Amino acid sequence: MEQFEVGIIGGGLAGLTAALDLSQRGYEVVLWEKQGFPHHKVCGEFLSTEIAPYLKQLGAQPPSAIAIEHLRLSAPSGAIAEAKLDMPSWGISRYYLDHFLAQKAQAAGALLRTKVSVEKVAPQKSGFQVHTTDGLYHCQVLLGAMGKRSALERALRSPETIPPQKTPFLGIKRHYRASIPLDTVQLHNFPGGYAGISAVEGGRVNFCYLIDQKQLQRYGGVAGVEARLLPQNPHLAQFLKQAEPLMERPLTISNFTFAQRYPVSQGIPFLGDTAGLIHPFCGNGMAMAIRAAGLASELLDIHWQADKLNSFAGAYQARWKRHFKRRLHFGRQVSPLLGRSGLSEWGMRLIKTSPALLRYGLRQAHGSPFSSLRHGA
Ligand SMILES: Cc1cc2nc3c(=O)[nH]c(=O)nc-3n(C[C@H](O)[C@H](O)[C@H](O)COP(=O)(O)OP(=O)(O)OC[C@H]3O[C@@H](n4cnc5c(N)ncnc54)[C@H](O)[C@@H]3O)c2cc1C
């Protein structure tokens, strides 16, 4: 059985950032990821720069992100509201960013076991036994960063903390070559969902939408939706007319929930979406995943050095709530506002007459710039 100080389940943004941070702090880290790198993920790829100071601390600021400073929002009819973002964001693909962080984590000394799934976890008197498709491991500390819909998360939670209902939504994403304003993220509503358009590195444009599955059935699948439903919004019609797909098929994701979750189970701190998925309309799940990794790494280091590992998970839970509870609550309020028929014309008129409302919403969903405490810093 292989022995490690820290084991991390899942190599998305949360797991990879924690692997990088903890390796830099001198811990022996193993991370299991069921896929290989690089790979595409369904995501709007719009990253809040609240985590820029932290990534800089880690020496992991992605060199090729696109700076985004404006938001353009439209109702299904095409009526538009615009705002300057209080904090700029980055357009960066998951294909690039996850791979970049994986390379950084490896260079810092983390052992990345890719194409390996964690199948079962058995808490021990001291630490955890981890059963994977690659064999048996023992870790003193275990972090769960396995995303928003892992069967393992359900197995690790007690029945009363398993998030209940799933959303009726499906996420669909594809990269295109298209001419768009590079400094603007566009969110266009259509009956039954909304689509985000933003530039990412390499001259690519990410097109990602969330759609009620009933609409998908009604329009006979993705091709029908893209030919007949999305173009009902004139901005989407214009985009789809000129955009050239760079991926043969779109990626899709379903069976996720925005319902409340808990950030710790069986003594295992959960990071990123496993602790709670914020509505993608808030555009902040990626930054929250990276931030949670920073919080967990900092607290683990403090508790390890003080020989108080028993209180690490509880301290993480309290800190997680301080940083994320309000935002997740806001995201859950936003969700029904978008409703099954997309942002209503009424909602758009309200935003247009009171632009401060949009800025208030953006502030509720986003956090202040974050960096982590480090010894000697
Ligand atoms: C449609 C949509 C659009 C979005 N758009 C945006 C956006 O524009 N901006 C933004 O900030 N956020 C956005 N988000 C949210 C964002 O994608 C997530 O918050 C972010 O990916 C969370 O990262 P994570 O590391 O927690 O999870 P993930 O990136 O999902 O990583 C989890 C990893 O764990 C692995 N894994 C799972 N189970 C196991 C196992 N048993 N063993 C080994 N590995 C395992 C998976 O393969 C995966 O790689 C969007 C979400 C959706 C659904």
List residues near ligand 1 (CB under 6 A).
9-15, 32-35, 41-47, 117-118, 145-147, 150, 152, 171, 208, 210, 253, 272-273, 280, 283-287, 289
pLDDT of residue 165: 66
Give 277 or 228, the one with higher predicted confidence: 228
Span of 29-43, 194-208, 351-365 with lowest mean pLDDT: 351-365
**Nearest atom of ligand 1 to the alpha carbon of 288:** 19
Q: Which residues, 6+ apart, have CB-to-CB distance to 331 below 8 Å?
A: 258, 278, 279, 281, 282, 365
Torsion angles phi and psi, residue 191, rounded to 5:
-60, 110
Q: Is the pLDDT of residue 248 over 80?
A: yes
DSSP tag of 369: -
Q: How far is the CA of 258 from the centre of ligand 1 (A)?
A: 13
Mutate to test the pocket of ligand 1, among 8, 13, 42, 206 (most ligand atoms within 8 A of CB): 13
pLDDT of residue 337: 63
Query: Please, what is the average pLDDT of the chain?
Result: 90
Give the span between the Cα atoms of 138 and 123, in whole angstroms: 10
Q: Name the band, by pLDDT with cuts 50, 70 and 90, for residue 345.
A: low
- pLDDT, mean of residues 238-262: 91
Q: Across the chain, where does the E strand assignment appear? A: 2-9, 29-33, 46-48, 66-74, 80-91, 111-114, 118-123, 128-132, 135-144, 169-177, 184-190, 193-200, 204-212, 244-245, 251-253, 264-265, 268-269
Residue 322's CB is within 10 A of a number of other CB atoms, namely 9
**Nearest atom of ligand 1 to the alpha carbon of 172:** 1
Q: Name the band, by pLDDT with cuts 50, 70 and 90, for residue 336.
A: low
Q: Is the pLDDT of residue 368 over 90?
A: no
- pLDDT, mean of residues 230-259: 93
DSSP tag of 165: P
In a 13 Å sphere around the CA of 234, the CA atoms on its Cβ side amount to 4
Write the DSSP assignment of 301-354 as a string of letters.
HHHHHTT-GGGHHHHHHHHHHHHHHHHHHHHHHHHHHH-TT-S-HHHHHHHHH-
Give 139 or 282, the one with higher predicted confidence: 139
Question: Do 223 and 140 touch, CB atoms closer than 8 A?
Answer: no
Q: Is the pLDDT of residue 197 over 70?
A: yes
Write the DSSP assignment of 187-234 as a string of letters.
EEEETTEEEEEEEETTTEEEEEEEEEHHHHHHTTSHHHIIIIIGGGSH
pLDDT of residue 142: 98
61-108 pLDDT per residue, tens: 998 899 999 999 898 889 888 888 888 899 999 999 999 999 999 999
Mutate to test the pocket of ligand 1, among 133, 142, 150, 288 (most ligand atoms within 8 A of CB): 150
How would you class 78 by CB atoms within 10 Å of its CB: exposed for 0-12, middle for 13-18, buried for 19 or more?
Answer: middle
- Domain borders along the chain are 2-46+92-164+258-336
pLDDT of residue 344: 63
Looking at the structure, give the CATH architecture of the domain made up of residues 2-46+92-164+258-336.
3-Layer(bba) Sandwich (3.50)
Q: Is the pLDDT of residue 376 over 50?
A: no
- Per the omega criterion (within 30 degrees of 0), is the bond before 38 cis? yes
Mutate to test the pocket of ligand 1, among 16, 40, 43, 173 (most ligand atoms within 8 A of CB): 43
* Token pair for 129: 């036994």
pLDDT of residue 83: 84
Angle between helices 13-24 and 94-107 (to 10 degrees): 20
* Token pair for 8: 């991390």
DSSP tag of 278: P
pLDDT of residue 149: 86
> Among 46, 272, 6, which residue's Cα sits nearest to residue 150?
272
* Token pair for 184: 């603007």
Q: For residue 265, what are the β-bridge partners?
A: 268
pLDDT of residue 199: 98
Question: Do 41 and 256 touch, CB atoms closer than 8 A?
Answer: no
**Nearest atom of ligand 1 to the alpha carbon of 173:** 1
- Category of 260 on φ-ψ map: left (φ > 0), alpha (ψ -120 to 50) or beta: beta
- pLDDT, mean of residues 157-172: 78
Give the span between the Cα atoms of 329 and 345, in whole angstroms: 24
